[in-house]
Amino acid sequence: MPRSMPETDRLPHALYRAEQVRNLDRTAIEAFAIPGIELMNRAGAVAYQILRARWPTASRLTVLVGIGNNGGDGYVVARLAHVEGLSVRVLQLGDAERLHGDAALSCTAYRNAGGRIETYQGLPRDTDLYVDALFGTGLERPVEGQWAEAIAALADQRAPVLALDMPSGLHSDTGCVLGVAVKASATVSFVGLKQGLFIGAGPECRGELYFSALEIPAPVYAREILSLRRIDWAQQTTTLKPRSRIAHKGDFGHLLIIGGAPGMSGAARLAGEAALRAGAGLVTIATHPQHAHWLNQDRPELMVAGVECADDLTPLIKQADVVAIGPGLGQGDWGRQLWEYTRTLSLPLVVDADALNLLAASPMTGPDWVLTPHPGEAARLLGVSTSEIEQDRLTASARIQKRYGGTVVLKGAGTLVHGPSHRPPAVCSDGNPGMASAGAGDVLTGVIAALRGQGMDAEQAACAGVCLHAAAGDRAARMGERGLIASDIIAALRPVANSIEVS
């Protein structure tokens, strides 16, 4: 009979490093007298309840267990399934004699219930579900040997995989793949959410995410300062305050967007319309004269000015509250002189695209700007390879912020916001792969700049803008991720920003 999904905790906004979660475990055991085996039994029970609710027809389970506490959690799941009458195969990787402490107790309890343990010699194909209980949070080096073989073999199976705490092979802190990693259908995480589930390859490997604090008392968490904040639109929507009934357009900022070299006018156009849809009062696009006369033909609310040279920006700057530069700017003489003029302004800046490449070529620190690099631009800003950025996105964003100042938005799956305040950096958990299309970054530039013009500081605008942009992307993806374009995100900005459900 199908079971309803058990009550799990809502996904917290506090994220932790693996060492911090181990400290939380230790505090619960030592300071609050919760036995470790009790926490292990709670973890296994929650995981098993999720397993039965999510895959109610699964009757043949294969549980891969390692030699640490993650393996102990797996033994609890196997015992509960065996007692309930499911067909269970437990495949032990590593020497079972090395099991100790609570994991050894869990293994013994499984044996005493009549369960059998096999040494791993390959994956059976006659299974409905695999349970990954190999590594958990302790992995620090590349996976090798039979461990790598087992994880690679899981990728070739058609049956789904439930990962306990962390998909094996995924680094708990950086989200990078240590040689090879499990791509789970779902992951159930315990005690504290690990930051690696949200950065790097985490969103790709974790599948649907569940969380349980295992009934650990709230005072335990006061002992650890979160290492990363998870942000989403449900949380950030409160940053948009109701508008005054006597407001006028000047109250919501005059935004100047600089960009659109010949052949690249679309980027500035997308940023401009996105800014309007995110609530900017006035938007002017300073662009190349070659296309200035027609850029706003289908969006007359945009003002457009053709600029031949940097001097032409002077009257436009005098009217602006916020400047966004970079979309379609190019790195030729035209774009370069506009950047050199703009980089010295005292106005709030949002810097994107080719303006970031020009900044990388001639670095400087800006106290009040928002930099919005994708991984390739981030690599140029730091003088490293793109792969180095992706190996540790959190460290990369911190390094960019330290070198260039202001607030850094490192775009990608799990967009990061690293500001100058003492608050931990933030990672956005909204968004989807359909947003990986041309122009989506230009839309984000317009959204962040618009929020700055409505009174937010740089870090607030970056956090709210990233989440609004991602939530709009999720709404646009209701019709499918494939084929989603930047204009679809713009169309969704207004209903999302106003919390309007549109069928």
Tokens 């290492």 label which residue? 227
When pLDDT is cut at 50, 70 and 90, the band that residue 1 belongs to is very low
3-class DSSP state of 54: helix
At 138 the pLDDT is 81
> What distance in Å separates the CA atoms of residue 307 and residue 419, rounded to the nearest whole number?
32
Number of residues in the chain:
503
At 125 the pLDDT is 86
425 contacts 397 by C-beta, under 8 angstroms: yes
At 342 the pLDDT is 97
DSSP 108: H
Tokens 């317009």 label which residue? 446
> What distance in Å separates the CA atoms of residue 62 and residue 308, rounded to the nearest whole number?
68
> What distance in Å separates the CA atoms of residue 144 and residue 190, rounded to the nearest whole number?
26
53 contacts 6 by C-beta, under 8 angstroms: yes
50 contacts 210 by C-beta, under 8 angstroms: yes
Q: Which of 259, 280, 279 is nearest to 269 (CA)?
A: 259
Q: Residue 6, exposed/middle/buried by CB under 10 A (0-12, 13-18, 19+)?
A: middle
Q: Which of 265, 344, 354 is nearest to 304 (CA)?
A: 265
Tokens 């569940």 label which residue? 210
Question: Residue 86: pLDDT above 80?
Answer: yes
Q: For 260-317, what is each residue's pLDDT tens digit?
A: 999 999 999 999 999 999 999 999 999 999 999 999 999 999 999 999 999 999 999 9
Question: Residue 3: pLDDT above 80?
Answer: no
> What distance in Å separates the CA atoms of residue 477 and residue 457, rounded to the nearest whole number?
30
Which two three-digit tokens encode residue 249?
A: 């357009």
Q: For 109-132, what is each residue's pLDDT tens digit?
A: 999 999 999 999 999 989 999 999
Q: For 160-207, what is each residue's pLDDT tens digit?
A: 999 999 999 999 999 999 999 999 999 999 999 999 999 999 999 999
265 contacts 287 by C-beta, under 8 angstroms: yes
Tokens 């200035």 label which residue? 292
Question: Residue 84: pLDDT above 60?
Answer: yes
At 136 the pLDDT is 85
When pLDDT is cut at 50, 70 and 90, the band that residue 10 belongs to is confident
> What distance in Å separates the CA atoms of residue 493 and residue 343, rounded to the nearest whole number?
29
Question: Residue 500: pLDDT above 90?
Answer: no
> What distance in Å separates the CA atoms of residue 356 and residue 359, rounded to the nearest whole number?
5
Question: Residue 393: pLDDT above 90?
Answer: yes
> What distance in Å separates the CA atoms of residue 18 and residue 178, rounded to the nearest whole number?
15
At 96 the pLDDT is 82
357-364 long-range Cβ contacts below 8 angstroms, 24+ apart: 357/331, 358/329, 358/331, 359/404, 363/403, 363/404, 364/404
Q: Which of 418, 421, 396 is nearest to 408 (CA)?
A: 418
Pairing state of beta strands 228-231 and 87-92?
unpaired
3-class DSSP state of 91: strand
Q: For 335-364, what is each residue's pLDDT tens digit?
A: 999 999 999 999 999 999 999 999 999 999
Question: Residue 502: pLDDT above 60?
Answer: no
* Mean pLDDT across the chain: 95
Terminal C-alpha separation, the chain: 33
Residue type, position 7, single letter: E
> What distance in Å separates the CA atoms of residue 88 and residue 85, rounded to the nearest whole number?
9
